[in-house]
Amino acid sequence: MDAAFVCRMEAVLEVYRRVPEPSHPVVCVDEASVQRVKEVRAPIPAQPGHSERYDVEYERNGVAHLLAFHAPFENWRRVDVADNYVAKQWAEGIRRLIQDDYPQAQRITLVMDNPNTHVGASLYKAFQPALARALLDKLEFVYTPKHGSRLDIAQCELSVLTRQCLDRRLPDIATVISEIAACTITRNQSKKPVRLAFDHRQRTYQLEMPLS
């Protein structure tokens, strides 16, 4: 853990210690991919004494890319799903965040890791300069340390969603979208939190999250 790591780590932790302000929400952003898998043979339905059974053979059917937005102070999340992840997908997700999810916010702090797509230039690749500048003026970027993406709470949220909603064979993009939508609606309604515990004296931290 070098000085650069500590500097970025404490910048992220300072964001998480803020007093929540409706006009200045904090939103964590992360991405992941899910393998789409088709059945080669129809599963055998569950019967008394036997759970549903699947053939060991399967067919790969591409990858679904997930882009997660998680507001830790509000316990709100949204996950966008696409066939291909490019800078324009991130930019469109950010536009929706500003214009649809938080239209009244004066400024939004984004906590993210360091992929090349998570930068202001991606907005200019996706939109006309005037719109890109207007969106960028609403944003504050805070990046996790290199090799410290676990500090991004959206990564924890994606881990929970993967275990709860995507732990089975999903044949196509429509199925992935449906499963993700059902899970995020349930978690948003129940206000499931992801909490960050931090010891100031020892400068240690631990991410805690419910599994259900």
* DSSP SS3 for 198: strand
Please indicate whether residue 129 or residue 36 has the higher confidence score (pLDDT). Answer: 129
* pLDDT score of 128: 97
pLDDT for res 57? 52
CA distances from 124 to 66, 100, 206 (A): 22, 19, 37
Which among 36, 96, 87 is positioned nearest to 69, based on CA atoms?
Answer: 96
pLDDT of 87 strictly over 70: yes
The pLDDT confidence band at residue 99, using thresholds 50, 70 and 90, is very high
- The mean of the pLDDT values for the chain is 83
Greatest CA separation found in the chain?
Answer: 63
The answer to whether residue 200 scores a pLDDT higher than 50 is no
How many other CB atoms are found less than 10 A from the CB of residue 121? Answer: 13
Residue 53: pLDDT band by 50, 70, 90 thresholds?
low
Residue with tokens 């100031």: 200
